[in-house]
A and B are shown apart, each in its own frame.
Chain A
């Protein structure tokens, strides 16, 4: 049983295209996150949702739009892809979005923009 799953695992696309990454958690958690890991392995928060409501929106280009159809899913849509968007994107979830909660991470989606 995969707790936090992401699809696809790999995504290779051309500049200017639009793509989506899907995330699902079966842990019954209320809060979900998107993190970006760059080529130097630095991890940075992008967005956070609690019960389908956006609570964290870091300084991310508005080409990135998260969508949470229900509290078990948090998808990331990226418009007009740029070379600098190439990275590994991780979805995570936590029980109630408290600072003490453990965040459980998905396996990541490696996005390559050509």
Chain B
């Protein structure tokens, strides 16, 4: 069975600081991993995904994530936070039936 654990339900950073959102997964099949962002009262938007190939994946808005099979992790990072990055972030793994299995989400707050 597939599952995702996001460590830290709430992360607070200062503008310009490093953003690190943690995601660990469990998968009985080769893992395909996704990070989505949800702004208030909006739908989910894909930030980036890992399927095969390069383990360092670059996404939109300066975000990137590294797939580490040995650690079963897919942490999301951004070198310098911007106020506009404040949102809810979801890590997900694709199950054999193609549905996304989501983590519980991490709320990112950015202060000036």
Contacts and interface: CB of A to CB of B under 8 A. Distances in A.
A99 B44 contact: no
Contact of A100 (B38, B94, B104): B94
Interface residues of B, number: 27
Contacts of A92: 44
A108 B43 contact: yes
Nearest to A103: B100
Q: Which of B44, B52, B90 has the most CB of A within 10 A?
A: B44
Interface of A: 4, 31, 33, 35, 40-45, 48, 55-56, 58, 90, 92, 94, 97-108
B98 A41 contact: no
A99 B45 contact: no
Interface of B: 29, 32, 34, 36, 38, 41-46, 49, 51-52, 88, 90, 94-102, 104-105
4 tightest A-B contacts by CB?
A45-B99, A105-B43, A99-B94, A100-B51
Nearest to B100: A103
B43 A90 contact: yes
B99 A107 contact: no
Nearest to A55: B97
Nearest to A31: B98
B100 A40 contact: no
